[in-house]
Amino acid sequence: MTTSNLSYVALTALTLLALWPLWSSRPAAWWNGRAAFAGLLLLTIMVAHAPTLDRREELLNPDESQLLAGALTLREHFAPWLSVDLSTAGPVSVLPLLLIPANYVSARWLAAWLAAAAVVFCWLALTSTGDDALTRVAALPVATFFAFMQDTELFQFSTEHVAALLLAIAIWLWMSATAGGENPLKRGPALGLGVCLGSAVMAKLQSAPGAAWLALAAGGLALLDSRLAWSRRLTVFAYLVAGATCVPAFFAFLATAQGVLPDLVQSYALNNLHYVGSMKHERTGILGYQPAVVWGLNYLLKPVGILMLACLAAGRKFSATERRIATVSLGLLVASIVAVALPGRGSRHYWFFVLGPVVLAFGSVARPAWRCLSARLPGSAANQRWVIVGLVPLLLGLPVAHRLRTNRDEALAGVLTQIPTVASAGQKLRELARPGDKLTVWGWRPELYVYSGLPQGTREAHTEWLIEAIPLRDYYRQRFLGDFTRVKPRFFADAVGTGSYTYPDRTRASHETFAALRELINRDYDYIGEIDTVRIYTRHDR
């Protein structure tokens, strides 16, 4: 049985378990209860990642390698923005990588678990007010998206995985602690909710719209809860704020102690704003975002979106709690889509922010809409259940029919065999390396750090900001030269060349185009050869 067939079997089992409550009036047993469905949902999404879980080589998106390189370096010296600058990612993104071997197999197993856990926590948040067949059906479109996904970028560990999971845990904490606002928010859950939101922002600043919405919703509802005295409301709100600020405050204090607070502000805050405001925006629509590449988003968002709009037509008959849950859930989905759209780039891994909220938002309006509709439908409850069964082909029919025309395993194999590798160059560096050695790479091939096992000699794992004519290029070049002359890495590798990611043209992007760096390399380094279009140099005095 192929890896894709395993995924389809898991999805079929998940669908049957989702519909089981329609045919059983008995209390849920261990094998068909809420925990069992959550576990099978987790397993289905993880199994969908199987085609790349045992692949030891790099995939197309270099962000995975950049994060692994950052983890390698932070293990030796935990100094974010001093030893490592993760560009648009924050230090919390790499914390899980510090606990596992720094290789592609470990990173992809972690990615599969994080992606699945984020969806599961959003589904668990939805079930805080009850678990039924419709709640389970709400998870099926996203599970199907994973089961059929063919874009290798979505199999990799990316900068969004940790932040998306933290936001999912945050909404689960609020929903489970308050039953969707039915009960007052207490201090412990408020503190935990805040910690998750602050940590998400320090994992990926792009998560700020979602984190801000959840903070506003939870904090506003706590302050407006007339069941509590004002002193109690303010105490709960203070716990929420304290939790949200403690993680950013820790990293700000650490950066201050290490003398790099200006770098934190310049690189993580201002450069991310520049990334949003100054990059050339691609012509993509929200619902049809990169449809030729991420086919599943069309077939996921459009059917679900149409059904959500239909469900909202019954919104005036929702109870106060149902309206509250729907407002918070739909707000999180909108904030997540805004986060995806703001950078104006077609990076498919951005959509990890959206997948969990799709489950939550769809379920939050479908359940009360069905309650209102079923009261008006003729026939017995036994006959009405076929309406819910009919939702399954409506939601899953398009992606299943579309993907039956292609073979997932063959499509993935075709992509995986075309990825240019720098494994030989990395192995050569590993053979030459001694304890304490460091490597600096010019270009955009952070895979060299992973294959060689060498930590970074400068803060950047790639040099996009030093090559592109952006307003902050002089700042990044001066910082790079300062790191390079201070650390004196034993190895320097210029990865610009034919087949290299983004920068194949040496006349435009090689290190020789940066005069000050060219002089340093000519003066202090020996050229030892070119492997995989990577030019390798070693220092004279090492």
Residue 273 is assigned to a structural domain of this protein: yes
Residue 437 shares a structural domain with residue 392 = no
Residue 240 is assigned to a structural domain of this protein: yes
Residue 533 shares a structural domain with residue 456 = yes
Q: Of 360, 380, 408, which residue sits at a domain end?
A: 408
Residue 234 is assigned to a structural domain of this protein: yes
C-alpha distances (whole Å) from 416 to each of 137, 250, 278 are 33, 41, 33
Residue 332 shares a structural domain with residue 208 = yes
Q: What per-residue confidence (pLDDT) applies to 286?
A: 39
Q: Which residues pair with 460 in a beta bridge?
A: 85
Q: What per-residue confidence (pLDDT) applies to 284?
A: 43
Residue 384 shares a structural domain with residue 519 = no
Sheet order of strands, 439-442 included = 439-442, 491-494, 534-539, 525-531
> Residue 308 and residue 358: Cα distance in Å, rounded?
10
Are 67 and 157 in contact, with CB atoms under 8 Å apart? yes
Closest CA relative to residue 303, chosen from 292, 287, 323: 287
Residue 131 shares a structural domain with residue 215 = yes
C-alpha distances (whole Å) from 23 to each of 11, 39, 232, 368, 462 are 19, 21, 45, 21, 56
Residue 39 shares a structural domain with residue 74 = yes
Q: What per-residue confidence (pLDDT) applies to 309?
A: 85
Instruction: Please count the structural domains in the chain.
Output: 2
Residue 216 is assigned to a structural domain of this protein: yes
Residue 279 is assigned to a structural domain of this protein: yes
Residue 391 shares a structural domain with residue 432 = no
- Residue 26 CA to its chain's centroid (Å): 39
Range of the domain at 306: 3-408
Residue 414 is assigned to a structural domain of this protein: no
Segment 165-203, tens digit of pLDDT = 999 999 999 999 999 888 999 999 999 999 999 999 999
Amino acid identity at 215: A
> Residue 6 and residue 9: Cα distance in Å, rounded?
5
Residue 412 contacts by C-beta under 8 Å, 6 or more apart in sequence?
51, 52, 150, 152
SS3 label, residue 42: helix
Residue 348 shares a structural domain with residue 428 = no
Q: Which residue has the tokens 């008959």?
A: 317
Counts for the chain of helices (H) and strands (E), in that order:
24, 4
Residue 180 shares a structural domain with residue 289 = yes
Q: What is the DSSP string of 87-145?
A: TTB-GGGGGGGGGS-SSHHHHHHHHHHHHHHHHHHHHHHHGGG---HHHHHTTHHHHHH
Segment 498-541, tens digit of pLDDT = 888 889 999 999 999 999 999 999 999 999 999 999 999 999 98
Closest CA relative to residue 96, chosen from 82, 81, 114: 114
Residue 357 shares a structural domain with residue 469 = no
Q: Which residues pair with 534 in a beta bridge?
A: 531
- Residue 33 CA to its chain's centroid (Å): 28
Q: Of 359, 382, 408, which residue sits at a domain end?
A: 408
> Residue 178 and residue 186: Cα distance in Å, rounded?
8
Q: What per-residue confidence (pLDDT) applies to 202?
A: 97
Q: Tokens for 192?
A: 């935990």
> Residue 73 and residue 210: Cα distance in Å, rounded?
30
Q: Which residues pair with 492 in a beta bridge?
A: 440, 537
Are 199 and 170 in contact, with CB atoms under 8 Å apart? no
Residue 332 shares a structural domain with residue 439 = no
Q: What per-residue confidence (pLDDT) applies to 65?
A: 95
Residue 383 shares a structural domain with residue 515 = no
Residue 343 φ then ψ, to 5°: -65, -20
Give pTM, 2 decimals.
0.94
Residue 493 contacts by C-beta under 8 Å, 6 or more apart in sequence?
425, 429, 439, 440, 441, 442, 445, 448, 534, 535, 536, 537
CA dihedral 158, 159, 164, 165 (to 10 degrees): 70
- Residue 198 CA to its chain's centroid (Å): 16
Helix or strand run (H / E) with residue 488: none
Q: Which residues pair with 84 in a beta bridge?
A: 80
Q: What per-residue confidence (pLDDT) applies to 294?
A: 42
What is the 3 state secondary structure string of 389-403? Answer: HHHHHHHHHHHHHHH
Q: DSSP state, 494?
A: E
Residue 501 is assigned to a structural domain of this protein: yes
Residue 22 is assigned to a structural domain of this protein: yes
Q: What per-residue confidence (pLDDT) applies to 277?
A: 58
> Residue 263 and residue 465: Cα distance in Å, rounded?
14
Q: Of 374, 408, 442, which residue sits at a domain end?
A: 408
Per-residue pLDDT for the chain (542 aa), expressed as one digit of tens each? 567 788 889 999 999 999 988 887 776 777 788 999 999 999 999 999 988 888 888 888 889 999 999 999 999 999 999 999 998 899 999 999 999 999 999 999 999 999 999 999 999 999 998 888 999 999 999 999 898 888 888 899 999 999 999 999 999 999 999 998 889 999 999 999 999 999 999 999 999 999 999 999 999 999 999 999 999 999 999 999 999 999 999 999 999 999 999 999 988 988 887 766 554 444 444 333 343 334 456 667 778 888 888 888 876 788 889 999 999 999 999 999 889 888 777 688 898 999 999 999 999 999 999 888 887 777 666 677 888 888 888 888 777 776 676 777 777 776 776 778 899 999 999 999 999 999 999 999 999 999 999 999 999 999 999 999 888 899 999 999 999 999 999 999 999 998 888 899 999 999 999 999 999 999 999 999 999 999 999 999 87
Q: Which residues pair with 527 in a beta bridge?
A: 537
Q: What per-residue confidence (pLDDT) applies to 108?
A: 95
- Is the C-alpha dihedral spanning 33, 38, 41, 46 positive or negative? negative
Q: What per-residue confidence (pLDDT) applies to 159?
A: 94
